[in-house]
Amino acid sequence: MELLDEIVLLLHLIGFAALFGGILVQIRVREPEINAAMLHGSYTMLVTGLALAVFLKAGLVIGDINLPQLVIKLVISAIITFLVIINRRFTSIPRGLWTLLGVLTLGNAAVAVLWQ
């Protein structure tokens, strides 16, 4: 079960990389858009984050459960995924939304790494 947990964690990190990479490639673009990397990265982060939470809650892996941290991360991931999904149909998004997606993505990673 530990191997499955590590594989899901790896997929979670790949989802973060895809989402954040999809945001970063648009730094110099005049009109940013929701690209495929952002869409699939946000889906991957949300689904694998939920799977990791289920593994911890069910006691399938050994680890401490920090419920407030877990809830905050899942809420941020859900907000990111919701914003990406509803803005996918537009050919471009406002620069403020692009910035918000980047800040939320980095904030989500910061909660995971810095919260002790």
pLDDT tens digit sequence for 37-85: 999 999 999 999 999 999 888 887 777 778 899 999 999 999 999 999 9
Tell me the pTM: 0.92
* Of the candidates 9, 32, 34, 29, the residue with the CA atom closest to the CA atom of residue 86: 34
Q: Quick one: pLDDT band at residue 111, thresholds 50, 70, 90?
A: very high
Residue 19 and residue 38: Cα distance in Å, rounded?
4
Percent over 70 (pLDDT), the chain: 100
Residue type, 103: V
Identify residue 12 by its one-letter amino acid code: H
Q: Residue type for 22, please?
A: G
What is the reported pLDDT for 21? Answer: 97
pLDDT of residue 58: 84
State the pLDDT at residue 59. Answer: 80
Give start and end residues of each alpha helix (H) in the chain: 2-24, 36-57, 67-87, 95-114
Max Cα–Cα distance, the chain, nearest Å: 48
What is the SS3 assignment for 50? helix
**Cα separations (Å) of 10 from 16, 47, 56, 99?**
10, 13, 16, 26
Domain map of the chain by residue range? 2-114
Phi-psi region of 29 (alpha: psi -120 to 50; beta: other; left: phi over 0): beta
pLDDT for res 65:
76
pLDDT tier, 116 (very low <50, low <70, confident <90, very high otherwise): confident
Tally Cβ neighbours within 10 Å of residue 105: 23
